[in-house]
């Protein structure tokens, strides 16, 4: 790779991908939505050119970026990946349409490959929705948006002259993430000395540190095969309880996590859903940061910013 476009470049994953590309000497057109965005995490990187573009104006990138020899278009921009908008069907449907707009624009710009950031929630949503008598909650609307985006984009890509790779992130975490997702919220409870209450945590899960996620996306951009899904995970998925105990032992060995006091309303995915064989085989990627090390790094960062 020599040139890339990163849409959603100042987000948690997108900014780390920009940094990894920059360090590999790749030219990055870093697309952020407007001039009010905080771009301090990417603006000083080498080989970076900041481009301002709202999601609703994706087709304007054709004129804003005149280059026609771009290797990979990375798409991370997604409204409502956390918080209340995660449950807003209009927002999530619009995200799917914007993803299709980005794909068509990338093809018009003669980009060779389009790599989209999907989510393990796609698989969980499919299971939750199509299981008889299941009762999926509103947060599955986010996963539905991702599923719809894939269902739209795959046939579009095959009607165009661009390769589509779909990257399924299991659970990215690490320094730089402000959203109150599981790892962040648990670490903040540990720091505050609050009780550690969980579900029975028997459901299968996986986590991967954000710098490893960035390396995975670069590997997919370099080696990913068209029409393939690549799961980005630790290659060591297991019941959530085992991750929790690993984090507790690393960060708070004297703490006493309590399992079963919180009801679990999701679905349990088989370990096969987290299989990383394809990204290891096709893209030569293996993560390097263990969950214990990653959570320690995350705790140090949280302490530094709180």
Residue 44: give its domain's CATH number. 3.40.50.720
Q: Is residue 100 part of a domain?
A: yes
Q: pLDDT tier at 36 (50, 70, 90 boundaries)? A: confident
Q: Which of 193, 164, 43, 25 is nearest to 102 (CA)?
A: 164
Q: Is residue 289 part of a domain?
A: no
Q: Which of 115, 142, 306 is nearest to 222 (CA)?
A: 115
Domain holding 74, by residue range, is 3-169
Q: How many domains does the chain have?
A: 1
**Is 90 exceeded by the pLDDT of residue 96?**
yes
**Is 90 exceeded by the pLDDT of residue 191?**
yes
Q: pLDDT tier at 298 (50, 70, 90 boundaries)? A: very high
d(CA 142, CA 271): 22
Phi, psi for 158 (deg, rounded to 5)? -75, -10
pLDDT for 179 equals 86
Q: Is residue 247 part of a domain?
A: no
**Stretch 175-200: mean pLDDT:** 94
Q: Is residue 183 part of a domain?
A: no
Q: Is residue 204 part of a domain?
A: no
Q: pLDDT tier at 22 (50, 70, 90 boundaries)? A: very high
**pLDDT > 90 fraction of the chain, expressed in percent and rounded:** 92
d(CA 125, CA 242): 23
Q: Is residue 157 part of a domain?
A: yes
The vertex-23 CA angle with 113 and 177, nearest 5°, equals: 85
Q: Is residue 190 part of a domain?
A: no
d(CA 105, CA 88): 26
pLDDT digits (tens, 9 = 90+) for 244-272: 999 999 999 999 999 998 988 888 999 99
pLDDT for 18 equals 98
**Is 90 exceeded by the pLDDT of residue 296?**
yes
Q: Is residue 228 part of a domain?
A: no
E strands in the chain: 3-7, 27-32, 48-52, 72-75, 113-119, 163-169, 172-173, 197-198, 204-205, 208-209, 228-232, 238-239, 258-259
Tell me the two tokens of residue 218.
């670069």
**Is 90 exceeded by the pLDDT of residue 215?**
yes
For CA atoms 121, 244, 201, 193, give the dihedral sign.
negative
């Amino acid at each position: 790779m020599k040139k890339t476009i990163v849409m959603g470049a100042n987000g948690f994953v997108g900014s780390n991908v920009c940094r990894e590309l920059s360090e590999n000497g790749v030219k990055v057109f870093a697309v952020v939505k407007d001039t009010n965005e905080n771009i301090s995490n990417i603006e000083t990187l080498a080989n970076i050119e900041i481009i301002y573009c709202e999601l609703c104006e994706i087709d304007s990138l054709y004129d804003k970026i005149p280059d026609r020899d771009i290797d990979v278009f990375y798409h991370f921009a997604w409204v409502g990946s956390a918080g209340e908008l995660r449950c807003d069907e209009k927002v999530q449907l619009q995200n799917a349409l914007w993803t299709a707009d980005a794909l068509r624009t990338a093809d018009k710009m003669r980009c060779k490959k389009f790599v989209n950031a999907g989510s393990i929630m796609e698989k969980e949503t499919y299971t939750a929705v199509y299981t008889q008598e299941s009762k999926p909650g509103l947060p599955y609307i986010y996963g539905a948006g991702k599923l719809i985006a894939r269902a739209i984009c795959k046939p579009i890509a095959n009607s165009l002259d661009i390769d589509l790779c779909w990257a399924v992130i299991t659970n990215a975490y690490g320094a730089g993430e402000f959203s109150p997702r599981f790892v962040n919220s648990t670490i903040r409870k540990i720091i505050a000395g609050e009780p550690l209450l969980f579900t029975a945590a028997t459901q299968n899960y996986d986590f991967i540190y954000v710098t490893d996620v960035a390396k995975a996306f670069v590997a997919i951009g370099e080696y990913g095969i068209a029409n393939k899904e690549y799961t980005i995970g630790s290659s060591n998925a297991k019941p959530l309880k085992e991750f929790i105990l690993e984090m507790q032992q690393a960060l708070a060995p004297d703490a006493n996590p309590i399992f079963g006091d919180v009801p679990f309303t999701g679905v349990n995915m088989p370990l096969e859903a987290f299989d990383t064989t394809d990204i290891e085989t096709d893209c030569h990627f293996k993560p390097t940061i263990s969950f214990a090390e990653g959570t320690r790094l995350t705790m140090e960062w949280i302490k530094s910013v709180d």
